[in-house]
Structure 1
Amino acid sequence: MPASPPSPTATLATRRARTGPPLASGAGALLVLGFVLMSLNTRVAFGQIGPLAPVAGFSPAAVSVLGLLPPLCMGAFAPLAAVLRRRLGEERGLWWAGLLLVAGTVLRMLGMPGLYAGTVVVSAATAVVNVLIPVLVRKRFPRERVGAMMGLYALSMGVGSALIAALVVPVAQATGSWRPAIGLAVIPAVLAAAGMTPQLRHRPPQPAATTGTERTDRPHVARTAVAWSLTAFFGVQTFAFYTALAWLPSILVQAGLTRGTAGTGQTLLILGIAAGGFIAPILAAKRADQRPHIIATILVCATGLTGLTSAPAGTAMLWVAVLGFGLGAGQALPGVLYAHRGTDPDHMTALSTMAQSYGFLLAATGPALAAALHAATGTWTAPLTVVTATLLVCAIAGLRAGHDRD
């Protein structure tokens, strides 16, 4: 007996699962506003310590711990996002993450103990945002806008970090204290929570609904090659990202640049990260196969690192810009990969959670490993060479994440 054709309701649900729902203009504008305000916060608190450390007199040990806590905590708390999404939905999960951001940024102003504790809270909130933002984009925006929205996410992340990083030193010098400078992060956190408030009206899906798109026979995500490939790509890219953020000024100073110029290099790196993060997902989302984009991202990063290792000091800023563009692409491209490889929001959440849990834990070792290699050799050549080699190995391990099963 021939199978009955799918009902119009099931057909519409399937089409929406593939392309995303249509957005009314008013609701769409509020969603984009909340999305941007939340995205601005994802690296704000973490970009304050480096510029502020010389002015505030933080000890090297304090700077090291404050640099280590974010990737460690983002890796450890990434599974929390799946729990919140399952119980509350993406919109409410992000709203609660916004409230956590506010609490954490306020706590960071309350002396050194508060700075440590608040960094843990902010990192936990950011872990939730990192996992849920790509899932929200896949669910609430048309499929053809996924790349643009992930590019906007990365661009907003870079702009927020650069803006606050540029303001912390003047504020600290004007007030004579590091606490008001740290407190600048409260403003975008409050705006993020407020921006997500209108989305509380969006009801989470009912688990009993049957659309014909659910998967009950899928193996656990950790048993799939695509999940481990995504984890490898995200982990090694983030390993390189945090290593560069931690040590680029020192690398440039040892290359012969002044400390002031090295600080400018850090700003140029962040701007390059924002540019690469904006462009890469837009290009990648237009294709079904992202393997060329994965390879290009890794090669751009490797080119920047090699330039910093071997090129004359006079060209250092060029290689900083190249490296920043590659690192930005490497941070934003996984969002597109989650959307393309995930068969539904649950699967996408599982892929994102696994990649970020292991990836951030791997990234936390980067700055410490680079410091140890530098101490052992007296130069930055060995650390940069190790990061470059690791990226090239990732070019093989990460390819499965770039295409659907043939």
Structure 2
Amino acid sequence: MPVSPPPTANAAVTRDRTAPPHVPGAGVLLVVAFVLVSLNTRVSFGQIGPLAPVAGFSPAVISLLGLLPPLCMGAFAPLAAVARRRLGEERGLWWAGLVLVAGAVLRMLGMPGLITGTVVVSAATAVVNVLIPVLVRKRFPRERVGTMMGVYALSMGAGSALIAAVVVPVAQATGNWQPAIGLAVIPAALAAVGMTTQLRQQPPRPVGTSGTERSGRPHVARTAVAWSLTAFFGVQTLAFYTVLAWLSSILVQAGHGRGAAGTGQALLICGVAVGGFIAPVLAAKGPDQRPHILSTVLVCVAGLTGLMLAPSSTSMLWVIVLGLGLGAGQALPGVLYAHRGSDHAHVTALSTMAQTCGFLFAATGPVLAAALHTATGTWTAPLGALTAALLISAAAGMRAGHDPE
């Protein structure tokens, strides 16, 4: 696969898009490194759900471990801009990989280590989340941005699903949950090793400060496109984490057994992986992503409506539909950052703002859904509230879908 930066928009950003020296096999090494990082991005977060019944975690612990990732990914996302300015994208991702390894090891050290390590892993993942779209924009041709963001989303889902599938057998075979949690060390170490191949290809570091004025550009928080991106990403991420936390309970209340509810969770993850691959591939083909934003929201709304109103015999169909929409909603913002950003610093600033605010907002979703469920005794109210929020986000996200004439 050829590796070249996209054409420069103007002379002011020429240094920002300088290509690294050619190295034989560089394209293959870059793709391998990219896939290894992508596989690792959500591994640690997918272990707790299937492991909780076997490990005997209390509801309070499960709630805390579900709340920490989005909360910490929002709080630590601004670190990515600092890492990029001081280290560049490749070295920033490499250091984040090392921190992921440390956090994965720490999570094996009893309950205090599990909680502390989750914070560490979430902080490193926040940096990866922000830098991945910047790396894609810089290192791959513009026509392959959508494909690589799709590969990122598909690999992320595949890595999470694979580890989630083996944690229970490992815990049962060893009689302890620590070895099962320790499985996350393997993909974390592979990701760090993969990024090691990219350190020699580090281009000149960009000048300027992400989010500040550069070549007359206002601070990112003063622009409509940044707030539009934040609204779309925030609501999509809130819906994703809310459904991920409570889907099993929703299916059980609909009349399914716990085994079927577990199957539903697996189908959701599969749908997320497929939707996460398809959406960016389609969206990157043209300059206008507004139809893709609207389609993503409508697919999510169809899935939620089916879960609320359709017979329980069709629930699994609607779970798959919902997974496709939620996966698209998690992957599509990466294309939006790359297309709306005028240079690498601007892409970083847009990604940082959307993910900082979006993840912090998303952390409230599972808690608010639980409160609505407790107050009404049914999951219809939380699902209806999610549907309304998604429809609002479709309107709010339109500005993020195109460049003004």
**Global fold match (TM > 0.5):** yes
CA RMSD of superposed structures (Å): 2.0
CA contact (8 A) 1:342 1:348 kept: yes
Residue 182 of structure 2 corresponds to 183
AA aligned opposite 2:81: A
Residue 4 of structure 2 corresponds to none
Q: Any residues of structure 2 matched to 1:210-289 within 5 Å, and which?
A: 215-289=214-288
Cα pair distance change 1:54/1:88, threshold 3 Å: same
AA aligned opposite 2:184: A
AA aligned opposite 1:193: A
Residue 158 of structure 1 corresponds to 157
The alpha carbon displacement at 1:216 in A equals 2.0
How high is the TM-score relative to the length of structure 1? 0.94
The alpha carbon displacement at 1:405 in A equals 1.4
CA contact (8 A) 1:19 1:143 kept: no
User: Cα deviation per residue 1:259-315 (whole Å; 9 max; x = unaligned)?
Assistant: 001100000000000000000000000010000000000000000000000100000
Task: Report the secondary structure of 1:161's partner residue.
Answer: helix
CA distance in 2, matches of 1:17, 1:100: 27
Cα pair distance change 1:24/1:280, threshold 3 Å: farther
The alpha carbon displacement at 1:23 in A equals 7.2
The alpha carbon displacement at 1:16 in A equals 10
CA contact (8 A) 1:21 1:139 kept: no
AA aligned opposite 1:258: G
CA distance in 2, matches of 1:90, 1:274: 25
CA contact (8 A) 2:9 2:342 kept: no
Residue 122 of structure 2 corresponds to 123
AA aligned opposite 1:105: A
AA aligned opposite 1:267: A
CA distance in 2, matches of 1:168, 1:268: 18
Cα pair distance change 1:23/1:363, threshold 3 Å: farther
Query: For structure 1, which segment, 288-297 or 19-28, has the greater mean C-alpha deviation from structure 2 after superposition?
Result: 19-28
Residue 393 of structure 2 corresponds to 394
Residue 301 of structure 1 corresponds to 300
Task: Report the secondary structure of 1:40's partner residue.
Answer: helix
CA contact (8 A) 2:20 2:202 kept: no
CA distance in 2, matches of 1:17, 1:141: 14
The alpha carbon displacement at 1:20 in A equals 8.0
Residue 340 of structure 2 corresponds to 341
AA aligned opposite 2:294: I
Task: Report the secondary structure of 1:218's partner residue.
Answer: coil
The alpha carbon displacement at 1:13 in A equals 9.3
CA contact (8 A) 2:16 2:207 kept: no
Cα pair distance change 1:53/1:180, threshold 3 Å: same
User: Cα deviation per residue 1:313-340 (whole Å; 9 max; x = unaligned)?
Assistant: 0000000000000000000000000000
Residue 64 of structure 2 corresponds to 65
CA contact (8 A) 2:18 2:203 kept: no
CA contact (8 A) 1:23 1:141 kept: no
CA distance in 1, matches of 2:9, 2:41: 37
The alpha carbon displacement at 1:202 in A equals 1.9
CA distance in 1, matches of 2:191, 2:376: 45
CA distance in 1, matches of 2:114, 2:92: 24
The alpha carbon displacement at 1:41 in A equals 1.1
CA contact (8 A) 1:20 1:142 kept: no
Residue 331 of structure 2 corresponds to 332
The alpha carbon displacement at 1:203 in A equals 2.6
Task: Report the secondary structure of 2:40's partner residue.
Answer: coil
User: Cα deviation per residue 1:219-263 (whole Å; 9 max; x = unaligned)?
Assistant: 000000000000000000000000010000110011011100110
The alpha carbon displacement at 1:42 in A equals 1.1
Q: Provide structure 2 residue ranges, at least 5 long, that are not aligned to the other structure.
A: 1-7
Cα pair distance change 1:119/1:228, threshold 3 Å: same
CA distance in 2, matches of 1:248, 1:16: 47
Task: Report the secondary structure of 1:384's partner residue.
Answer: helix
Residue 372 of structure 1 corresponds to 371
CA distance in 2, matches of 1:120, 1:32: 28
Q: Any residues of structure 2 matched to 1:35-74 within 5 Å, and which?
A: 35-74=34-73
Task: Report the secondary structure of 2:197's partner residue.
Answer: helix
Residue 3 of structure 1 corresponds to none
CA contact (8 A) 2:270 2:323 kept: yes
AA aligned opposite 1:341: R
AA aligned opposite 2:87: L
User: Cα deviation per residue 1:203-230 (whole Å; 9 max; x = unaligned)?
Assistant: 3424569xxxx94210000000000000
Residue 384 of structure 1 corresponds to 383
Cα pair distance change 1:207/1:164, threshold 3 Å: closer
Task: Report the secondary structure of 1:217's partner residue.
Answer: coil
Residue 5 of structure 1 corresponds to none
CA contact (8 A) 1:36 1:153 kept: yes
Cα pair distance change 1:95/1:56, threshold 3 Å: same
Q: Sequence identity of aligned pairs in percent?
A: 79
Residue 92 of structure 2 corresponds to 93
Cα pair distance change 1:207/1:174, threshold 3 Å: closer
CA distance in 2, matches of 1:201, 1:191: 18
Cα pair distance change 1:207/1:328, threshold 3 Å: closer
CA distance in 2, matches of 1:123, 1:83: 17
Cα pair distance change 1:259/1:19, threshold 3 Å: farther
